Structure 1
């Protein structure tokens, strides 16, 4: 009799353990960048935190490579090809309007500050408009200040830049480049090495980090701008159906780690590798850095003024009230972030 009760108890325990194991949610996580890139690293750190905070109820399966090329990532997460990933809003031109507010020149010299401020503005103004509808937007963020890098010559003026061919990543910098009369081509970041090494392009617009991350040993010149020539808007996202299927307890964990928490993680990660590339790799390969003078900055600002007016009009059509006020609030918020 005792043996029968013991077997029954063991069977019940086994069933309970099996039920607990089957209740674990596993997210398929995709990255279109190498596993050593800061975005892949921070995405994994976020996943590790998710598993820890949920006591193992949720975990990530980091896929060996991206399920699609970078421009298709938003739709891949929306359609369930991957459960979690990130993408550049500007890789699909014309699709996202409000997000361009985080891509304007001269916003700041820290990815952390711009990312956290962007998240706050996004929560307050953009999320209710549903521009990222179709996915669960976990966080938004930006990279560090954008720089003009090239293999040929110092770029001291708008005319110097116009004499070269550049790869760009889309968004406002695409519009600004056109307005400046520069010869630029929209291509995803991972294609930069081939484009530069083969001479198809003379340079690229990137944050400091990318010279090291993409092993751009051919880069010899850099032109910086106070607050950056541009930023790039990213969205970190989850498949909406996967999120909806979570228990209330697990949704609370995801929500806790989303928003400013995730935005700060991505921003701090980027600031760290920006500094490492600038002080290590670029110095070692002899990259000559200059800062744009007042005339160059003014030439950019004059063109950008028109683009901001154009953006405001388009954003208003999309439902954003008083876009210029939102932009001013965003800039003020960046200054507050520590």
Structure 2
């Protein structure tokens, strides 16, 4: 038990299913705007789900980008056949529908997995990819509309 924690609602799958609306592809615009919408939604519509949990704030990170070691992603078709680390069950489904092989793994395993070719790439906000060292390994990064593939709350 802890007195206070900073975490993501999506780290406890199925515990806060209402919040999965904010995982939908192409929905996020900025971290700030999505955070404001997620916080308002949670405080207005999720009080029953928060029984026993007392959130100070609900937030979302900036929209996730696609980072790949080799393949350049210009359209959704370019995802076909790629093994990509996905951050949530919603993104696992979405990437699978686009023909990619969604791979779940903890964040600390990502740099080694991409450098060894276990995965071809991943979805992650640009600033998180930099902090994790992925920018030193992945050569391609999407910045087009296709790059706003998800956010986490």
Aligned to 2:4: 84
| Equivalent pairs, count | 151
Partner of 1:196, secondary structure, is helix
Residue 166 of structure 1 and its aligned partner are, at CA, apart by 0.8
Q: 2:150 aligns with which of 223, 226, 230?
A: 230
Aligned equivalents of 1:182, 1:91: Cα separation in 2: 22
Q: Does 1:154 align with 2:68?
A: no
- Structure 2: which 5+ residue stretches go unaligned? none
Residues 218, 92 of structure 1: alpha-carbon distance in 2 compared, 3 angstrom cutoff:
same
Deviations 1:124-167 (A, max 9, x none): 1122x22x333222221111011111001211233321221111
4+ residue runs over 6 A deviation: none
Q: What CA RMSD, in Å, does the superposition of the two structures yield over aligned residues?
A: 1.9
Please name the residue that 1:215 is paired with.
Answer: 133
**Which residue in the other structure is 1:176 paired with?**
94
The yes-or-no answer on 1:109 pairing with 2:29 is yes
Q: TM-score, normalising length from structure 2?
A: 0.87
Separation (CA, whole Å) in 1 of partners of 2:77 and 2:119:
17
Of Structure 1 and Structure 2, which has the larger fraction of its residues in strand?
1
Maintained 8 Å contact 1:91/1:171? no
- The aligned residue for residue 134 of structure 1 is 52
Q: Relative to structure 1, is the Cα distance of residues 175 and 133 closer, same or farther in structure 2, using a 3 angstrom cutoff?
A: farther
Other structure's SS at 2:71 match: coil
TM-score, structure 1 length as denominator?
0.42
- CA apart distance, 1:171: 3.9
Cα distance in 1, alignment partners of residues 126 and 102 from structure 2: 19
Q: CA deviation at 1:92?
A: 3.6
Displacement of 1:169 after TM fit? 0.9
Say whether 1:204 aligns with 2:119: no
Of residues 13, 38, 42, the one that matches 1:118 is 38
Unpaired runs of 5+ residues, structure 1, are: 1-79, 234-338
SS in structure 2 of the partner of residue 139 of structure 1: coil
Q: Which has the higher contact order (CA 8 A, sep 6+)?
A: 2
The structure that has the greater radius of gyration is 1
Give, in angstroms, the shift of residue 205 of structure 1. 0.3
What is the 5 A alignment of 1:64-83? 80=1, 82-83=2-3
